[in-house]
Structure 1
Amino acid sequence: MKIKVGIVGGAGYTAGELIRILLHHEYAELGAIVSSSNAGNAVHQVHDDLVGETELRFATELAGDEDVVFLCLGHGNSKAWLQKNTLPESTAIIDLSNDFRLAADAEFAGREFVYGLPELNRSRIQQAQSIANPGCFATAIQLALLPLAQAGRLTDDVHVSAITGSTGAGQGLAETVHFSWRSNNVSIYKPFTHQHLGEIGESLAQLQPQLGADIHFIPYRGNFARGIFASVYTPSELTQDEARALYQQFYADAPFTTVSDKEIHLKQVVNTNRCLLHVQKVGKQLLITSAIDNLVKGASGQAVQNMNLLFGLPETTGLILKAVNF
């Protein structure tokens, strides 16, 4: 069985990562890669890590016979694209923007988008036809908190500090993505108001309807290219051993989420679809650290993980990737 794949918005970081993964996916047949700004150009001219990997060229439109279409468009543009373009009902959609992640936006153009966090919604994803892929910060933070929510243990405010690499800002030009600005520099942005807070809150409430906690989130821009490292803490009556057992049980069947006995760092997850978690008790505070690659588990890898679930494949298909540890 080959899954015919189309990509819309093929020139950005997430699309490049998606192409890299799908070219080596044994059940994927990569077809039209649509880019209005690069139509006719070789894909490897834009994504130069793919030199020698593919001779595909960017297209102006989809072929029309795709089994699944990935929308790698900027936030707000997926809705606009679907309003102008009609896909067959049989074609699955996996959207990597934030257009359909919230419950209020989940129904659109005759489709119902399921929130695509496999560790939370695996069975719903398997039955879905349209997927809203989670945000990168949202993925790292939710995976740090879901076990507590399921156990009804989020009863006090949660504080989060998380830092992301420059690729999280996309390829658009802005002062804060220039190398000369980002190098040897750290800054915060959107304190307490980050757009991923909405999806985080909805996911936690799905497991703990009477959520007794506010999430106070400070995002940081890092001076590195890729990865997210989140420090999440909240008062808890659990002992360290009880908390670790809770997390290990929750993620026992999650192939990409691992609870580490040792403290974690970014190099363990960069270039992989993994999330590493570490749980420790310090005084009255339960501290959970979470690390992912923002372009893989935080975007394109998770999108392929969702595709695998949609088409009845093992979640790990095409996603056994090596970390860049040195």
Structure 2
Amino acid sequence: MKTVGIIGGSGYTGGELLRLVLNHPALELNFVYSTTRPGFAISDTHPDLLGTTSMNFTDQVNLEVDVVFLCLGHGNSSKFLEQKRFSDQTIIIDLSNDFRLSSDSEFMGRKFIYGLPELNKEAIEQTNAIANPGCFATAIQLALLPLAKENKLSNSVHINATTGSTGAGVGLSATAHFSWRNNNVSWYKPFTHQHLGEINETIETLQGSKPQIHFLPHRGDFTRGIFATAYTSYQGTLEEAKELYKNYYANDPFTHVSEQEISLKQVINSNNCFIHLHLHEGTLLVTSVIDNLIKGASGQAIQNLNLIFGWEEKLGLNLKGSTF
């Protein structure tokens, strides 16, 4: 059993990670660090964990745990690691954006590997530090990787993606309020979303050139999941495109190409990404759906950890989805 510490376990991402760690057959939860809830029962914040754990949040950190997950706000992981020096043997998996770009990947003697298994599996298996991708970035990159690998993103790419309210975190804001969000849809950060940095870097590295990517994110009136559509010019048949995608993801247990049209509920509460392809007059439409809290965050973090330890990639991630 490998011991695990979680830094910041009171939010949506931290709560999802807690559920996965507590039910993982090879992991033992050692502590959950919180500056706002030390001494309070974890199940008070995450009521669904009543009967699963009797642990409390703590303001103490065990620097010798085998694994530490950082579920902190963007910009806070690097500050925390400067204050708390974990053992060189401790694996660090950061779920913020502090180390995702190559210019930020080297920190205090560690080289953080960008943790998208469908892109960097071999490098992930050899590292002790992971920069977990963003949720939008995960859905969008999985939609584009096969095209970039074959240098087929020669024209601009247009992307629309809608996320649930959990993507905004637990903090209060006007647009997260039930009365505003219910029966409502809106866009935000048009063409400037922070996940574009990691998306552009991945595509440019894989393809050798960077197409112009136009990304318009939307807020949806549901709690979890991302429904993304990307379209670009494509020279080839639909069957050729399907073969390209199926070959690329042939050894990836969580990413699947569907012959049928897909919907968001198919992946909720799972670590899956489902992809569908549609060709219309030389334009390829790629639809990608994920659960933003699992494949887009905590599930992918566990997937990365499984790879690092040489475990079966799906260990602890055989989750039950619910379509209805």
Cα deviations across residues 185-214 of structure 1 (Å, max 9, x unaligned)? 100000000000010011112210123x11
Corresponding residue number in structure 2 for 1:123: 122
- Distance of 2:191 and 2:317 partners within structure 1: 33
For residue 231 of structure 1, what is the amino acid of its counterpart? T
TM-score with structure 1 setting the length: 0.98
Cα deviations across residues 26-78 of structure 1 (Å, max 9, x unaligned)? 00001110011000111000011111111011011222321010000000110
Structure 2: segments with no counterpart, 5+ residues:
none
For residue 301 of structure 1, what is the amino acid of its counterpart? G
SS at match of 1:286: strand
Which of 229, 234, 247 is 1:236 aligned to? 234
For residue 292 of structure 1, what is the amino acid of its counterpart? I
For residue 4 of structure 2, what is the amino acid of its counterpart? V
- Distance of 2:28 and 2:301 partners within structure 1: 16
Contact 2:270 2:295 in 1 (8 A): yes
Which of 304, 307, 322 is 2:305 aligned to? 307
For residue 29 of structure 1, what is the amino acid of its counterpart? E
Corresponding residue number in structure 2 for 1:175: 174
For residue 228 of structure 1, what is the amino acid of its counterpart? I
- Distance of 2:116 and 2:58 partners within structure 1: 30
Cα deviations across residues 207-264 of structure 1 (Å, max 9, x unaligned)? 10123x1100000000000000000000111210000000000000000000000000
For residue 246 of structure 2, what is the amino acid of its counterpart? Q
Contact 2:64 2:86 in 1 (8 A): no
Corresponding residue number in structure 2 for 1:158: 157
Cα deviations across residues 146-165 of structure 1 (Å, max 9, x unaligned)? 00000010100000000000
Contact 2:63 2:85 in 1 (8 A): no
Corresponding residue number in structure 2 for 1:145: 144
- Distance of 2:47 and 2:108 partners within structure 1: 35
Corresponding residue number in structure 1 for 2:26: 27
Corresponding residue number in structure 2 for 1:222: 220
Percent of residue pairs bearing the same amino acid type: 57
For residue 252 of structure 2, what is the amino acid of its counterpart? A
- CA deviation after TM superposition for structure 1 residue 10, in Å: 1.1
SS at match of 1:59: coil
Corresponding residue number in structure 2 for 1:250: 248
- Distance of 1:214 and 1:9 partners within structure 2: 36
Matches within 5 A, 1:18-97: 18-97=17-96
Corresponding residue number in structure 2 for 1:319: 317
TM-score with structure 2 setting the length: 0.99
Contact 2:164 2:225 in 1 (8 A): yes
- Distance of 2:213 and 2:60 partners within structure 1: 42
Alignment RMSD (CA, Å): 0.7
Deviates more, 1:62-71 or 1:160-169: 62-71
The count of residues paired between Structure 1 and Structure 2 equals 324
- Distance of 2:73 and 2:156 partners within structure 1: 32
- Distance of 1:23 and 1:271 partners within structure 2: 16
